Amino acid sequence: MSHGYNEETEELLLNMGPQHPSMHGVFRMIVHLQGETVTGIEPKIGYLHRGLEKIAESRTYPQFIPYTDRLDYLASPHNNLAYVQAVEKLMGLEIPERAEYLRIILAELARLASHQVFIGSAALDIAGWTAWGYPFRDRERILDLFEMIAGSRLTVNCMRIGGVSAEPPAEFWPALESLLDDMPEKIEEYFNIYMGNEIAQARMKKVGILTKEKAENLCITGPALRASGVQYDVRKAEPYGIYDRFDFEVPVLYGCDTYDRNLIRFMEMNESLKIIRQAVRDIPEGPIMAKVPKIIKPPAGEVYHRVENPKGELGFYIVSNGTPKPERVKIRAGAFVNMQCLSELAVGTYIQDLIVSFASLDAVLGEVDK
């Protein structure tokens, strides 16, 4: 006897977010389901949109720096760096050597802290309560270092046009050395308790496939691209600051699945430690700020500058009309661009696979919505 249900044709529309705990902020998507199989996704973004690009037009160049903290708020030094280097490129500013090294240290510490949040939250999305606690425990030590320099732990407003905001206090350096000594063991600990878990492996391996061709065609950047077999990193492809002085590898994996998108973050953390150690070893004495005018008025023109944010390529396009305020600012947000591959990862998989595939993109809605 038929009950009027046809599993081949009857479709269920399921609303996920913007309050769903697995949505990593205020992302919302309408999921089309046949049974438990995902047949389509309609992303609904904008719940955290604050109009930052438009705000930039009514702020002076230095005044906009704190707003950039609110893009990828888990790695705010990278946002600061991309913006101030774009303005410096427009002005032709020469940055003091010590400031360049401090910028590298802060940026790579932010990459470590961002990946720690990724590992903990990705584990939590598959009910890995124990694995969640370890990276968040150690991230506090990095936030302590940020607090010593900037006075804040999350929106670390530490970069300035021409250098950095402050000289690290004396206690910063021993705390940093201690962190560098401890982190390799901690990273291995995260790996064993999370990636070494057979349930986690079963949930992630051969799930959410993003082929090399698709990743390139969709302009995916960051760890998601490198986990699909493309060895591309802005720090190597177009070195900014003084990254060309450091010896580090660009990890690349070829599994193209959610497992590799998780694994590559562990590999990148070890490379960040290498960069920070070299920076601490080579940092010179000297000033931390260039001589810049009190009122910053870059010459009329335009500039685009990009950096390797932990989520992907972050770029700032700035148009100057020669006044103290930019005429136009456009932000190329890596997390926003990467979100377009979500349908590619999820359609044809089960609804529980959608959660781990979305987590593997490490989306931060502050950067997606701007």
Q: Which residue has the tokens 């070890």?
A: 270
Low-confidence residues of the chain, pLDDT below 50?
A: 1-5
Tens digit of pLDDT for each residue in 53-100?
A: 999 999 999 999 999 999 988 999 999 999 999 999 999 999 999 999
Q: What pLDDT, on a 0 to 100 scale, did the predictor assign at position 8?
A: 65
Whole-prediction pTM:
0.91
318-326, Cβ contacts within 8 angstroms, sequence gap of 24 or more: 318/86, 318/87, 318/90, 320/90, 322/297, 322/298, 323/297, 324/60, 324/61, 324/295, 324/296, 324/297, 325/57, 325/58, 325/59, 325/60, 325/61, 326/56, 326/57, 326/61, 326/64
Which residues fall within 8 angstroms of residue 7, CB to CB, at 6 or more apart? 34, 35
Burial of 30 (0-12, 13-18, 19+ CB in 10 A): middle
> What distances in angstroms separate CA 230 from CA 87, 133, 209, one per listed residue?
30, 32, 14
Which residues fall within 8 angstroms of residue 347, CB to CB, at 6 or more apart? 38, 39, 40, 41
Q: What pLDDT, on a 0 to 100 scale, did the predictor assign at position 45?
A: 87
Q: What pLDDT, on a 0 to 100 scale, did the predictor assign at position 25?
A: 75
CB 368 within 8 A of CB 45: yes
12-368 sits in which CATH class?
mainly alpha
Q: What pLDDT, on a 0 to 100 scale, did the predictor assign at position 2?
A: 40
Q: What pLDDT, on a 0 to 100 scale, did the predictor assign at position 5?
A: 42
The domain ranges of the chain are 12-368
